[in-house]
């Protein structure tokens, strides 16, 4: 039975007590996020080794017999990804691990990070050059794993008793590269770790400045989920487009966003964070972020008069029609059949049940999903 290796990345945070603090005071603590922690990789790694980096030993064959049978190894570390330091669990499982087993494994790791191994680790004072560091593998909000499967490096065949020459190797590599075609992307064999019917995409040409030829994208169920047209519509990261949903005309999904059912994301729209667009909803030129839910027969669209589009974020839900420069936040809820249109260039902000009109510039959508402004 073949074993498979995965890396489960998760966010890291920390508190730093600077050396200049004479006494421990909460006001002196500096809160750090992963992109501010890269310089501490070596110190954190050394502490993990002292703490013990193997978690499979804690799998209980009585309380978790399935995981104990199918999970061969769990090794913890920290790794830098795109300039951000992340927690990393390198997991070796056999190929018979089911979708339910994957869910159990991620719950087990979450429990270890929050109440088990991670609870003890965050209490360890790690001496670094500029003070004392305490690191958190568990985050109380928006905690999730980003899963990547490791694949073996392809081996170049030997010819007779001698290896291929450099020119032969180059020719072999070139022949394996995707041919230039009218297609923008291909669907790879890299299956989603939880939804095996979904597979990652790979660019067959330069799609945009952020997506060069060969770049991997998010997950689709079929080619009907992302246009093959000559535009920069794309699905990034861990985002998912499935069923009959479609991303087209320069729109993109990023982060952990999901589009499903018969949803349409078009005309430079951006759906990111943990936002979901489902049912027959349409997002046209608008932005949905964080935990926004766009569902039913909802429509988010630009105003024909001002060319401005709505922004939906927080835990806002839209089931009606919204157009123009409208900013929905918090627990805002647009009911089915409701039409909310702002014909002005002032921002109509709705936070929960409160609405305000701001005489200011309309919010701009990010230029790149991979490098948002902080």
Does residue 238 surpass a pLDDT of 60?
A: yes
Does residue 310 surpass a pLDDT of 80?
A: yes
173-198 mean pLDDT: 71
Among 256, 280, 285, 282, residue whose Cα is nearest residue 270: 285
Work out the percent of the chain whose per-residue pLDDT is above 70: 85
Which phi and psi (to 5°) does residue 13 adopt?
-135, 170
Q: How confident is the model at residue 175 (pLDDT cuts 50, 70, 90)?
A: very low
227-245 mean pLDDT: 93
pLDDT at 167: 40
Work out the percent of the chain whose per-residue pLDDT is above 90: 49
Contact 316, 338 (CB under 8 A): no
Q: How confident is the model at residue 162 (pLDDT cuts 50, 70, 90)?
A: very low
Among 227, 215, 273, residue whose Cα is nearest residue 251: 227
Does residue 351 surpass a pLDDT of 60?
A: yes
Q: Read out DSSP for 230-274?
A: SS--EE-TT-EE-TT-EE-TT-EE-TT-EE-TT-EEETT-EE-TT
State pTM to two decimals.
0.52
In the predicted model, what is the mean pLDDT of the chain?
A: 84
Q: How confident is the model at residue 44 (pLDDT cuts 50, 70, 90)?
A: very high
316-335 mean pLDDT: 94
Tell me the C-alpha distance between 369 and 196, whole Å: 26
Contact 145, 10 (CB under 8 A): yes
Alpha helix ranges (H) inside the chain: 41-51, 65-70, 99-114, 117-121, 166-176
In the chain, which residues fall in CATH 2.160.10? Answer: 186-358
Does residue 287 surpass a pLDDT of 70?
A: yes
Contact 289, 313 (CB under 8 A): yes
Tell me the C-alpha distance between 340 and 363, whole Å: 18
Q: Give the least confident one: 169-173, 193-197, 272-276.
A: 169-173
Architecture of the domain defined by 186-358: 3 Solenoid (2.160)
pLDDT at 23: 55
Q: How confident is the model at residue 24 (pLDDT cuts 50, 70, 90)?
A: low
């Amino acid at each position: 039975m073949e074993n498979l290796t995965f890396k489960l990345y998760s966010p890291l945070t920390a508190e730093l007590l600077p050396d200049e603090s004479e006494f421990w005071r909460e006001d002196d603590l500096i809160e750090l996020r992963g992109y501010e922690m890269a310089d501490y990789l070596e110190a954190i790694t050394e502490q993990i080794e002292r703490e013990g980096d193997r978690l499979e030993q804690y799998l209980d064959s009585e309380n978790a017999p399935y995981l104990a049978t199918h999970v061969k190894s769990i090794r913890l570390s920290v790794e830098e990804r795109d300039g951000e330091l992340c927690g990393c669990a390198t997991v070796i499982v056999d190929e018979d691990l089911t979708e339910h087993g994957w869910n159990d494994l991620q719950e087990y790791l979450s429990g270890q990070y929050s109440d088990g191994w991670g609870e003890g680790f965050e209490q360890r004072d790690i001496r670094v050059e500029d003070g004392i560091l305490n690191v958190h593998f568990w985050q109380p909000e928006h905690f999730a794993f980003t899963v990547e499967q490791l694949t073996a490096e392809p081996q170049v065949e030997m010819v007779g008793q001698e290896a291929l020459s450099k020119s032969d190797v180059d020719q072999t590599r070139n022949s394996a590269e995707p041919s230039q075609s009218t297609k923008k992307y291909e669907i790879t064999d890299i299956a989603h770790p939880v939804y095996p019917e979904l597979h990652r995409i790979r660019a067959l040409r330069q799609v945009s400045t952020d997506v060069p030829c060969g770049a991997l994208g998010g997950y689709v169920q079929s080619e009907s989920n992302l246009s093959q047209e000559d535009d920069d519509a794309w699905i990034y990261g861990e985002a998912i487009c499935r069923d009959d949903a479609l991303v087209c005309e320069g729109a993109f999904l990023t982060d952990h966003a999901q589009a499903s059912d018969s949803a349409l994301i078009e005309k430079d729209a951006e759906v990111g964070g943990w936002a979901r667009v489902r049912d027959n909803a349409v997002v046209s030129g608008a932005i949905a972020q964080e935990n926004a839910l766009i569902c039913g027969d909802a429509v988010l669209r630009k105003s024909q008069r001002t060319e401005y589009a709505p922004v939906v974020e927080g835990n806002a839900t839209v089931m009606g029609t919204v157009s123009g420069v409208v900013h929905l936040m918090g627990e805002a809820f647009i009911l089915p059949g409701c039409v909310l249109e702002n014909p002005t260039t002032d921002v109509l902000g709705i936070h929960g049940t409160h609405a305000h009109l701001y005489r200011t510039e309309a919010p701009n959508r990010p230029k790149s999903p991979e490098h948002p402004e902080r």
